[in-house]
Chains A and B, each alone.
Chain A
Amino acid sequence: MSTAQLQYQSQSVAKPYFIAAIGLFVGQVLFGLIMGLQYVWGDFLFPEIPFNVARMVHTNLLIVWLLFGFMGAAYYLVPEEAERELHSPKLALALFWIFLTAGVLTIIGYLAVPYATLAKITGNDILPTMGREFLEQPTITKIGIVIVALGFLYNIGLTVLSGRKTVINVVLLTGLVGLAVMFLFSFYNPENLVLDKYFWWWVVHLWVEGVWELILGAILAFVLIKTTGVDREVIDKWLYVIIAAALITGIIGTGHHYYWIGTPSYWQWLGGIFSALEPIPFFMMTIFAFNMVFKRRKQHPNKATVLWAMGTGVMAFLGAGVWGFMHTLAPVNYYTHGTQITAAHGHMAFYGAYAMIVLTIISYAMPKLRGIGTAMNDRAQIVEMWSFWLMTVAMVFITLFLTAAGVLQVWLQRYQPNPMPFMAAQDQVAIFYWFRELSGVVFTLGLLLYILSFFIKGKQPAAQPTAA
C-alpha cells in the first residue's frame, strides 16, 4: 500500500492505533446498549453479564480507545510538527501490540471470571488497586499501562525534543506527560476511603478536566492549521489562551468533587467558583474552531474533517461546559449528586470532547495513512458526515433523556415531601430509559455508517488551492 501521501514515513505507525481505536469504540457502544437494556429489563443477561461487568467493559473500553486515539494522534502529528521521522517506529509498533494484548486480555478477564476471582488470580492483595470506578483494571494491567506510557513518552519525547519545537508539539507532550504522571495515583489506595477518594480524583478529574484538555487543544490546533491554512502564530496564541483557561479553572475545579466525601466544607466554595468557570475554555474552543474556519485561506477537500473539528468545539462546550455547569454548584449538587444527571453530563462530555477529537484526527489522517489522498471521495465523505450527524444528534437525545430521568429522579427520591426509595423512583422514570436505549440504537447505526464510510469507493476530489 502506498504511503506517498505522508510527509514522514514513520507517521504510518498511527494507522493500527486508529483502527484499534475504532474497533474498541464499537465494543464500547455494544456494551452500552446492553447496559441501557438492563436499566429497563433488569435480568437481561443475568447472571452471565451482570450490570457491573458490562459497565466496567463499557467505561474501560472508552478509556482504552481514547488512549489509542491519543497515541495514534501523537504518532501522526508529532513527526510532521517536529519535521523529522519518529525516533523509533519499531518501538511504536511493539507498544501497539503490547497495549492491545493487555487491553483485550483484561476485557476477557472481566467477562470470563467473576471479578473477585480476577482479583485473586492477578494478586490484587499484594498491591490492591482494583475495584475503584474506572480503575478496575488488575494491578498487573496498570503496571503494563505504565510501561507502555513510558515507552511511548520516550519515543515521542525524543522526537519532539530533537526536532522543531512547535507550540502544538510542546503542549501535546506536556499533556501526555501529565496523563502518565497523574495515572500513577491509581496505585495509591489507602484503607481510609476519604483519602482514597481524594486522590482517586487526581487521576480522574485531573485527566479529563486537566491534562486531557491540553491534548485536545493541541490536536484541534493541528487539524485547524492543516485544514484552514490560518497563520500558525494566530493558532498558537489561541491554543495558549485555551489551555491557560483550562488549567486555571480546572485544577482548583477538582474541588467540585470534594463536597460530600468527607473533605472540609470550604471546597463547596472553591470547587463551585472555579468549576463554574470551567465552561470558559470549552467556549473558547468553539469560538476558536469557528473563527479559524471562517478565516480559512483555503478550501480543504476534506470537508468531513472540518465538520468534526467544529462539532468537537460545540459538543465539548455543551457536554462538558453547559451540562457540567448545570450541577456543579454545591447547593444544586447536594440534590443532583450521583443521579442520572451525572450520567447525562458524562455521556455528552466524553463524546463531545474526547471521542469527537479522536474522530476528527482520524478523519484527517486516515485518507493519507491509507495512501488515498488528502481526502476521501465525495460519496464516502457524505456518508461520513451522515454518521457525524446521526451519532451527534443521537448523543444529544441520550443526554436529554438521561437529564429528564435525572430531574425526575431527584424530585421523586430526594426533593418531594415524601421521598421515594431508589427502586420505586427508578420504575417511575423507566420510559426515559426506553427512549435513551432507542437513541443508543440510532447512535450504533451512526457508528456502523461511520465504519462503512471507510470502504466507499468513488472519484477522488481534486484539491482546490484558494477557493472561498
Chain B
Amino acid sequence: MPEIFTKTMARNIYLGGSVFFVLAFLALTFDTTARLPERDNRENITEQVALGKQVWEENNCIGCHTLYGEGAYFAPELGNVYQRFGNSKEALKGFIKSRPVDGIPGRRSMPQFNLSEEELEAIAEFLKWSSEVNTENWPPNING
C-alpha cells in the first residue's frame, strides 16, 4: 500500500470503525427488542410452551431438524410443522409417539424419545406457538 496511507491511519479506521459499528449494533438491538412484542407472539408463551422449549432442547431436536431454518438439514423444517400436520396437536403427538425403537430399515427415522404425556403435550404446544411468530412468511411453503 502507498506511503500516503500510514499505519496510524489504518489503526484509526480499525478502532473508529469498530467502535462505531459496535454502538450502531447495540442501538439496533435496543430497537429490535423494543419492537419484538408485536411480532414474537410472547403473550402466548404459557408454562406449557416454556416446558415444550425445554423438551425441545433436552432431546436435541435441533441436531436433525431446522426451526426457522436453523439447525441441521437431516430432517424436515418444524417452523410450520403444526400447519403441515393439519393444525393438529394430536397428529404431532401421535407421530412422535409412534416412532419405532429400532428405526426403519434403510431409511432415516426419528428416534423413540419415550416422552411422557405431559412432555408430548408441551412439545406440541411449543411447535404450535413457534408457528405463530411473525417470521416474514418464512418458510416459503407448507413443505418447509
Contact = CB atoms under 8 A, between A and B. Distances in A.
A236 B7 CA distance: 7
Interface string B57-72: 1111111101111111
A119 interface: yes
B96 interface: no
Contacts, number: 229
Contacts of A39: 74
A198 B32 contact: yes
A196 B104 CA distance: 34
A445 B103 CA distance: 31
A445 B21 CA distance: 43
Interface string A41-71: 1110011001111011000000000000000
A264 B35 CA distance: 7
B57 A131 contact: yes
Interface residues of B, number: 75
A417 B77 CA distance: 19
Contacts of B5: 237
Contact of B73 (A50, A241, A340): A340
A43 B14 contact: no
A426 B53 CA distance: 27
Contacts of B106: 41-43
Contact of B108 (A38, A189, A195): A38
Interface string B108-119: 110111000000
Interface in A299-356: 334-335, 337-340, 342-343
Given A261-B135, A338-B71, A338-B77, A131 B45 contact: no
A262 B133 CA distance: 6
A233 B1 CA distance: 11
Contacts of B39: 194, 262-264
Nearest to B39: A262
Contacts of B144: 413, 422
Interface string A402-430: 00000000000111000111110110000
Nearest to A189: B57
A444 interface: no
Interface string A252-280: 10110111111111011010000000000
30 contacts: A38-B74, A42-B103, A42-B104, A46-B109, A51-B74, A52-B72, A55-B72, A131-B61, A132-B62, A133-B62, A133-B63, A193-B130, A194-B42, A196-B53, A240-B10, A244-B10, A247-B18, A254-B25, A258-B32, A259-B138, A262-B40, A262-B68, A264-B31, A264-B35, A338-B66, A338-B71, A419-B141, A421-B76, A422-B75, A423-B76
Given A41-B106, A47-B101, A422-B143, 20 more contacts: A43-B103, A51-B72, A56-B60, A133-B70, A167-B11, A198-B29, A247-B14, A251-B22, A251-B24, A251-B25, A261-B70, A262-B36, A264-B32, A338-B77, A414-B139, A414-B140, A414-B141, A419-B142, A423-B76, A426-B108
Interface of B: 1, 5-7, 10-11, 13-14, 17-18, 21-22, 24-25, 28-29, 31-33, 35-36, 39-42, 45, 49-50, 53-54, 56-64, 66-77, 101-109, 111-113, 130, 133-136, 138-144
